[in-house]
Amino acid sequence: MSKLFSPVTLRGLTLRNRAVVAPMCQYSAQDGFANDWHFVHLGRFGIGGFGLVLLEATGILPEGRISYADLGLWKDEHIAPLARIVDFLHSQGTAVGIQLAHAGRKASTPVSWIKPEQLTEEQRRAVGYEHWVPVAPSAESNDPANPDFQVPAALDAEGIRRVIDGFVAAAKRAERAGFDTVEIHAAHGYLLNQFLSPLANHRTDQYGGSRENRMRLVLEVTEAVRAVWPADKPLIVRLSVSDNNADGWQVEDSVALARELKALGVDAIDCSSGGFAQGRIKSAPAYQVPFAKAVKQGADIPTMAVGLLGDPEEAEAFIENGDTDFIALARGALDDPNWALHANVALGGDFTPWPVQTRRVSDYHRVMSESSRAQAAQ
């Protein structure tokens, strides 16, 4: 059997395979509430055979959203519509996680396909438009050349405590919604990543300066979340393993942090990169796998690779060679919500994992295969 499509266990959670749907922001919520779009968007990945589906960056506080249209988990009323999604994915044999996030200085940015200045007041109400001043480790814009980003307010001690408490409260709500895992978002230039990176953190208190100080908030959040998250459920942290800038956060910093996170009870590191205007990286097939490999080997912790990993044979090789433990798809899953089912067949599996309502697709594959062989023989 393919290693990619073999079951794997983290704590008390057994996944049917190592194929993961990475978090993908949909910018389709109002006041943080999940709706039918989220249900259908996410439900198809359960039907499509993935082992784990991670919900998009979900604001732990209203001011922590990337935009006004992000999912939220800062109040109890958000639980029920999320639980509906969790229940359906569970019914399809898929485990479900949620990415808990605070955007920091990248918050209160517009939805890319809606220009707020072109909306009437009635249209703004219809889409749930909101605008607020973001917060950050330092009062510096993410990109002064980009008007979408504001100059944030620097967090004081009370504000930092609010962030930690927000992550804890959201984790408790995630448990009530039935999620199997939570992922703490410390990547992509958002708040926790801002504290980690010398590109964004210019504080002079115990949260700034040395690497130890810059890691402090991430470790405090992780310790607090692990304390309330059930002991039999895994905890994941997403890191930008490198800022892609010589003056920023480096791979060796991520390895050191991952060791600390493991000691606090983190079970896997979701390895991405970048997120700051000062560090761009060009996408290419499997371009972030080296980050997953470096953290896995350096910190002796399971890792998740992400970034244009849609080739099944290549994905299998990364697992088989020990470069990573999980293969996560975002754009590839959008392109083919049945990627896991198709990849399993491509790697020698059969059609058993397909939902019973769809197994007649095997006839389609058989007929098309016979047709291709017949054409090749002519």
Give the model confidence (pLDDT) of 158-189 as tens digits.
Answer: 999 999 999 999 999 999 999 999 999 999 99
pLDDT score at 371: 81
Q: Does the pLDDT of residue 339 top 90, yes or no?
A: yes
pLDDT tens readout for residues 115-127: 888 899 999 999 9
Question: Out of 27, 190, 287, 364, which one is annotated catalytic?
Answer: 190
In angstroms, rounded to a whole number, what is the distance separating the alpha carbons of residues 207 and 209?
7
Q: Which of 317, 314, 293, 339 has the alpha carbon at shortest distance from 22?
A: 339
Q: Does the pLDDT of residue 305 top 80, yes or no?
A: yes
The Cβ of residue 176 has, within 10 Å, a number of other Cβ atoms equal to: 13
Residue 364 included in any domain: no
Residue 282 included in any domain: yes
pLDDT tens readout for residues 290-302: 999 999 999 999 9
pLDDT score at 89: 98
Q: Does the pLDDT of residue 247 top 90, yes or no?
A: yes
59 band by pLDDT with thresholds 50, 70 and 90? very high
Mean pLDDT of 49-66: 98
Count how many domains the chain has. 1
Please state the pTM of the whole predicted model.
0.96
Which residues lie below 8 Å from residue 205, measured CB to CB, with a gap of 6+? 213
pLDDT tens readout for residues 134-151: 999 999 999 999 999 999
Count of helices and strands (H, E) across the chain: 12, 13
Q: Does the pLDDT of residue 268 top 90, yes or no?
A: yes
Residue 360 included in any domain: no
H or E stretch including 376?
helix 361-377
pLDDT score at 363: 83
191 in Cβ contact with 104 (< 8 Å): yes
181 in Cβ contact with 230 (< 8 Å): no
254 band by pLDDT with thresholds 50, 70 and 90? very high
Q: Does the pLDDT of residue 373 top 90, yes or no?
A: no
Write phi, then psi, for 298 (nearest 5 degrees): -75, -30
Write phi, then psi, for 30 (nearest 5 degrees): -125, 130
Q: Does the pLDDT of residue 359 top 80, yes or no?
A: yes
Residue 371 included in any domain: no
Residue 177 included in any domain: yes
pLDDT score at 72: 98
Which residues lie below 8 Å from residue 347, measured CB to CB, with a gap of 6+? 2, 4, 5, 312, 313, 316
Write phi, then psi, for 329 (nearest 5 degrees): -120, 140
What's the CATH code of the domain at 161? 3.20.20.70
Residue 190 falls in the annotated catalytic set: yes
More confident residue, 286 or 373: 286
Q: Does the pLDDT of residue 260 top 80, yes or no?
A: yes
pLDDT score at 375: 81
In angstroms, rounded to a whole number, what is the distance separating the alpha carbons of residues 223 and 261?
8
Q: Where are the beta strands (DSSP E) in 82-177?
A: 95-101, 135-136, 153-154
Q: Does the pLDDT of residue 376 top 80, yes or no?
A: no
Q: Does the pLDDT of residue 196 top 90, yes or no?
A: yes
12 band by pLDDT with thresholds 50, 70 and 90? very high
| Planar angle of CA 283, 55, 193, nearest 5 degrees | 60
Residue 64: Cβ-neighbour burial (10 angstroms; 0-12, 13-18, 19+): buried
pLDDT score at 366: 74
Residue 242 included in any domain: yes
Residue 160 included in any domain: yes
203 band by pLDDT with thresholds 50, 70 and 90? very high
What domain range includes position 247? 8-347
Taking each helix axis as running N to C, give the angle between helix 79-91 and helix 36-47, from 0 to 180 degrees, rounded to the nearest 10: 20
Q: Does the pLDDT of residue 94 top 80, yes or no?
A: yes
What's the token pair of residue 316? 């299998």
pLDDT score at 1: 80
Residue 352 included in any domain: no
pLDDT score at 211: 98
Q: Does the pLDDT of residue 251 top 80, yes or no?
A: yes
H or E stretch including 331?
helix 331-335
In angstroms, rounded to a whole number, what is the distance separating the alpha carbons of residues 272 and 61?
23
Mean pLDDT of 208-215: 98
The overall average pLDDT reported for the chain is 96
